Amino acid sequence: MPFAATEWLGFLLQKISVLQHAPSQHLPARPGDPTPTSRNLDPLMHPFARARERMRALNAAKMERMFAKPFVAALEGHVDAVETMARKPATLDVAASGSWDGGLIVHDISRRSQLLSVEQAHKGKITGICFADADRLLSCGVDRNVKLWDTRSVPEEDERGAGPSSPLSIYPGKSAFNSIDHHRSDPLFATASNLVQIWDETKSAAVSNLTFPTSTETISAVRFNLSEPSVLASIGSDRTFTLYDIRTGKAERRVIMQMRSNSLAWSPTFPTTVLLASEDHNLYTFDIRSLNTPTQIYKAHVAAVMSCDWSPTGTEFVSGGWDRTVRIWKEGVGTAPEVYHTKRMQRVMSTLYTADARYVLSGSDDGNVRIWKAHSSDKLGVITARERAAIEYRDALKDKWKMDAEVGKVSRSRHIPKPVYKAAQLKRTMLDAQRVKEERRRKHTRAGENKPKAEKKKVVIAEQS
Amino acid sequence: MDNLIAKADAIRPVKRRRIGKDDQPRKSQSSAKASTSHDRTLESVSLHTVLPKSFRSSSPPPENVPKYSHIHNPKLRTQLTRQSTQNARAKALLKDADLLLTEEAGMMQVEGDMEKTWRVGQDEVVKAAGEEAARGRKEWTLDGGPYRSKYTRNGRHLAIVGKKGHVATFDWQSGTMHAELQLRETCRDITFLHDHSHFAVAQQKYVFIYDRDGVELHKLKSHIEPTRMEFLPFHWLLATVGNAGYLKYQDTSTGQLVVEHRTKLGACNTMTQNIHNAVIHLGHQNGTVTLWTPNLPHPAVRLLAHIGPVASVSVDPSTGGRYMATAGQDGTVKVWDCRNWKGSVRQWSTRGGGGELEWSQKGALAVATGGSVNIYTKPSIQTPFAATVAPPLYLTHPIPHRPLTSVRFCPYQDILTIGHAAGLSSILVPGTGEPNFDSMEADPFENKTARREREVKSLLDKIKPDMIALDPEFIGSLAPPPKLSTAVDGAHDIPFARLPRLERLRVSGKADETEEGDAHMQSGDEEDGAKKPTKEEKEKRKMRGKNKSLKRYLRKQRKNVVDPRAVAVRTKLEKQREERRKAKAIASGAEQERKPSALDRFKRAS
């Protein structure tokens, strides 16, 4: 029998096992080592996973709003409103600005200093600035001159005290200029006055004049396409948007819109996309392949939009308006942009994205150039990999839970100045009333006679070619 | 204009195209073109344009991801494709994560019908267990009266309380004592708060909170004569119930008394929580079991479970809180399905009257009645069985010190701790503990920094008390359809622009009315069946004694008026007819079934 008993016990030994955790697996091997972690992704091991994730998303949204301090600095120096700005190609931190009093300043954004300052670059206001290449700057003004400046020259006063430097060359024109843009590769530039003129840097008179037949308008802005450098777009006082080709030397197509545009920008990544900042408080993107409707309407400003500029990534753009706000939009998202404002910032006449897409510059009526973060809650400075991972996780959470009422409300709501808020409210009421009126009118006319028209179809009045 | 951008074909003035009409031929054309000739626009702009690295796809997308090629809106299509790709990737990765589960669960098996697992005694189990596991078998002989115990969520620390006021908390694995107190008054229950650094004791008159070293931190004077306590770890709520029959929730992070519910069922001695939805289960003297949430002033569920008083309640954590077991003073044990309260799944009677119950992490049920602890395992206790016989026994252990006042399974261990009149005894029950813990949730081996980190994280993730509900999955799911409508008899007096969004969608026919549509379909079928009203009905509906000529006149007048309601009815009928025709066509094979749409995901089930 004892033999049987031991056999039975041996049998049992094989069949019973009790759970035990080996401490050597779960404790650090040596002092100072990281403690090993183990994961079990069974959903039963994680009760309330969704509720907790939602709380995390809510906290992430609140943290984003808490750390949203977009204003970085104000660059002083101009006496009057900053009308125009341009960034230096192939640099992250150099931008030039020109103001109504004829002052021209080249800013170093990172040091917040001035690389070049010309007090009376033009008589009257400077209307356009662009870099010809890395070191030369073109400016035009209402004094009917285009001037070419060397930005390398260290500002030194000569014996007459006549200011830091004089232009490399002056190109006299026949009428006041409104805008200037340089060709991407060739030594050509285009100016806008009552017609679009193409200039060669080496010649003192315009090479060619481009104008749409039967046009008698004043051109307010002209821009070269960034990928197809011989294509040119302009906007004019006749509520027009015109496309030119300098190879054929003709205006190719013209679009007449409901209201005039104030600013124009080509997308850096989608060569056929152009952005227009309109007087009717909206921005429009057009695909130039089909100009009869805009691809998207961007509605949030409560006054005329004065300026716009694309981010170098082409996914975002910035706009500045007569309503004293700067707004940052996502391409293709027509509402609820990020909105920046300060107490002292007046009408925003010019806006600019920096080349690293991290900052936005705004030049306003009060003569300051302000530096803003492009993403208001971005952390400046070095970010460790762990912190970066946490930030990305928080962003993903916010995106995942944006439809939740509480999370969405926190991340959507912005404090805006009372006049802007009231104006938006009033505008909404008026537009609603208009729509209701139209609807009532339609209800009392014969069916089918007065069909509702999509907002996008109302923008363009006529397309001419 | 032809040579505006590189004389590319794509730039040519586009003709007005109708989307949807000639979709099929156009698509085939473009694909054919793409295969034969190169895209000249692309060629012309690619010199100056590069797609950013972050936009390029890094790895090939997983297979069987739904294609959304039928969706016109390119933005929506891209977004949907990206989302479903990511979901598919995540699912595949989750499958791989099973490889991380390295530890093996305990088990006990016998061969043949003659052998029974319950014949195996603790001595044999201890002999068979490894050295580390065998240390779990313990006998604590204490003379403070019947004892109750509670483990922390990671199973590392144990708090015990004797009826006469002996309180101790210790790390049972290393044997370090944190605090030992002689409170010299009746103590009825003990529980750890978020971790072993704080614990609460239900004493003679109030609840007291002590820190790890046994220093009294708080006297909760609003909790009077408490009998049982539960701590809800994800909400940071301490729930207590007492002799007065009030259920009180105290937020231990802010110190506020969140809510108190009057149960109106007298003194309560039984309480448990469902860890998966934080609902508190109370067992009462009159045999009812009630389920409570902080946001309801009345029980979410009220259930007559036993004829006599309820002695113990426990909820199964291994099935997501689907099963509840109750023991009554009448000597029966019942297992309930929490989705369907009509009758118990299984019931059996035990010897020795009311007992204590506890489910383990793996779903083993320990029942302590009379002088022994019986353990039953999973498939048999949860399968419906009409006869009132006990399910097959897994393990049994006699304890001579009556009464047995508490049974607690140690998380992540095969250990059952039984509190009784002469102290506590821990026995080994193979296969009851979850072998693989998650360090993010509860780690038995965590060090001081990890504990601190987890405390902060869990405070940040603290869920609001209002979010407790019977179904915790309601968070992040679709809101129920609103019942209110501004329409009177289906027609609005308000202009379209001033309607609320849902009504606007409804009017423009874009609202998701799947349920209603189904109902209509059913009613339509019924109409076909009972189309002709009976004679009595006709008689009943016939109008009598009204001026017929005036009516005719009015009807004729009305023909010229465009009544939106009539128009709506007409379009609806048209739609139904179209649907019927389509169904018939699909059935006969003349037409293809509708492709799934992007909005299908928002359709309600059923």
Interface touch A16/B1, C-beta < 8 Å: no
CB contacts of B109 in chain A (<8 Å) are: 15
Give tens-digit pLDDT for B415-463. Answer: 999 999 999 999 999 999 999 999 999 999 999 999 999 999 999 999 9
**Contacts of residue A81, Cβ cutoff 8 Å, sequence gap at least 6:** A99, A100, A346, A347, A349, A363, A364, A365, A366, A367
Interface touch A19/B460, C-beta < 8 Å: no
Give tens-digit pLDDT for A353-374. Answer: 999 999 999 999 999 999 999 9
| CA end-to-end distance (rounded Å), chain A | 111
A430 occurs within a structural domain? no
Number of H helices, E strands in chain B: 12, 29
Q: What integer is the mean pLDDT of A41-60?
A: 95
Question: Alpha-carbon distance A201 to A186, whole Å?
Answer: 9
Give tens-digit pLDDT for A168-179. Answer: 999 999 999 999
Give tens-digit pLDDT for B71-90. Answer: 888 888 888 888 888 888 88
Where in the sequence is the domain holding A368, given as residue range(s)? Answer: 71-386
Interface touch B472/A47, C-beta < 8 Å: yes
Give tens-digit pLDDT for A134-191. Answer: 899 999 999 999 999 998 865 555 444 445 568 999 999 999 999 999 999 999 999 9
Question: Alpha-carbon distance A384 to A395, whole Å?
Answer: 16
Comma-separated ranges of CATH 2.130.10.10 domains in chain B: 118-428
Give tens-digit pLDDT for A408-454. Answer: 999 999 999 999 999 999 999 999 999 999 989 988 998 888 888 89
Give one word for B165, left, alpha or beta, with left for phi > 0 and alpha for psi -120 to 50: left
Q: Give the CATH number, domain containing residue A191.
A: 2.130.10.10
Predicted pLDDT of residue B35: 45
CB contacts of A56 in chain B (<8 Å) are: 460-461
Predicted pLDDT of residue B348: 94
**Percentage of residues of chain B with pLDDT beyond 70:** 82
Predicted pLDDT of residue B32: 41
Q: What integer is the mean pLDDT of B288-315?
A: 96
Sheet of A348-353, strands arranged across? A71-75, A369-373, A359-364, A348-353
Residues A250/A207, Cβ–Cβ less than 8 Å? no
Q: Cβ atoms within 10 A of the Cβ of B69, count?
A: 9
Tokens 């936005």, residue? A360
Confidence check: pLDDT of A80 > 70: yes
pLDDT category at B11 given cuts 50, 70, 90 is very low
Give tens-digit pLDDT for B367-384. Answer: 999 899 999 998 999 999
Predicted pLDDT of residue B513: 62
Q: What is the pTM of this model?
A: 0.82
CA distances from B110 to A270, B116, B134, B415 (A): 72, 7, 21, 20
Give tens-digit pLDDT for B527-560. Answer: 444 456 666 666 666 656 656 676 777 666 666 6
Measured in angstroms, the CA of A159 and the nearest CA of chain B are apart by 47
Q: Cβ atoms within 10 A of the Cβ of B241, count?
A: 29
pLDDT category at B9 given cuts 50, 70, 90 is very low
Q: What integer is the mean pLDDT of A391-395?
A: 95
Measured in angstroms, the CA of B12 and the nearest CA of chain A are apart by 7
Residues B308/B287, Cβ–Cβ less than 8 Å? yes
Predicted pLDDT of residue A155: 53
CB contacts of B320 in chain A (<8 Å) are: 43-44
Confidence check: pLDDT of B594 > 90: no
Number of domains comprising chain A: 1
Whether the ipTM is more than 0.90: the answer is no
Confidence check: pLDDT of B38 > 80: no
Contacts 24+ apart (CB under 8 A), A417-422: A417/A324, A417/A325, A417/A341, A420/A302, A420/A323, A420/A324, A420/A325, A420/A341
Interface touch A228/B130, C-beta < 8 Å: no
Structure tokens at A179: 């805008």
Higher pLDDT, B113 or B148: B148
- The answer for A 440-459 residues in CB contact with B (under 8 A) is 440, 447
Give tens-digit pLDDT for B351-371. Answer: 888 889 999 999 999 999 989
A434 occurs within a structural domain? no
Going B524 to B529 to B530 to B531, the CA torsion angle's sign is positive
Measured in angstroms, the CA of B465 and the nearest CA of chain A are apart by 11
Predicted pLDDT of residue B59: 64
Interface touch B472/A19, C-beta < 8 Å: no
Residues B89/B62, Cβ–Cβ less than 8 Å? yes
Predicted pLDDT of residue B161: 97
**Percentage of residues of chain A with pLDDT beyond 90:** 83
Give the mean pLDDT of chain A.
91
| Bridge partners of residue A264, in order along the sequence | A276
Give which of A30, A44, A46, A48 to mutate to test B binding, by max B Cβ within 10 Å: A48
pLDDT category at A259 given cuts 50, 70, 90 is very high
| Bridge partners of residue A310, in order along the sequence | A317
Torsion of CA A125, A131, A136, A139, to 10 degrees: -20
Q: What integer is the mean pLDDT of B151-168?
A: 96
Which uninterrupted H or E stretch holds B79?
Answer: helix B74-96
CB contacts of B10 in chain A (<8 Å) are: 289
A62 occurs within a structural domain? no
Of A115-124, B42-51, B384-393, B433-442, least confident by mean pLDDT is B42-51
Predicted pLDDT of residue B595: 77
CB contacts of B18 in chain A (<8 Å) are: none
Predicted pLDDT of residue B34: 43
Question: Alpha-carbon distance B427 to B425, whole Å?
Answer: 7
Confidence check: pLDDT of A13 > 50: no
For the domain B118-428, what is the CATH superfamily, name and number? Answer: YVTN repeat-like/Quinoprotein amine dehydrogenase (2.130.10.10)
Give the mean pLDDT of chain B.
85
